[in-house]
Amino acid sequence: MKIVSLLFPILWSSLTTLSFAAPIETIWLTHATNLPDKIVVNWQTDAPGNSAVEFGNSRELGKTMLSAEMTTLHHVEIPLALRGQPYYYRVRSGDDVSEIFSFKGTPNRHRR
């Protein structure tokens, strides 16, 4: 019993210093303006952190937009250079990261 009681403080202090990344699950898209060439990616985290959106026209992503502001409610605007094409994206805040999601850009013809 003495060995267990000696090891417990060491194990407990090791466990309490570990940090685990949490998946970011609630993400929504909005427009800040009426122009179809940009979209705002929004998400919320439990702890304040910076904001990053990795995006591109394939699952390899390739581009990143960053905001260094420490916040729990994140808003990052990304450009949509290609009309009518699929976009893939994921968000990051500190060690937290989402899975890769997709949407299709506005079509070439104007909507009425």
pLDDT digits 0-9 by tens, 56-73 = 999 999 999 999 999 999
Give me the domains of the chain, ranges plus CATH numbers.
18-104 (2.60.40.10)
Tokens read off for 92: 């990051």
Least confident of 21-25, 37-41, 57-61, 71-75: 21-25
Asked whether the whole model's pTM tops 0.95, one would answer no
- Residue with token string 């000696």: 6
Ramachandran category for residue 39: left, alpha or beta (phi over 0 → left; psi -120 to 50 → alpha)? beta
CA 5, CA 94: separation in Å to the nearest integer?
35
CA atoms within 13 A on the CB side of 21: 12
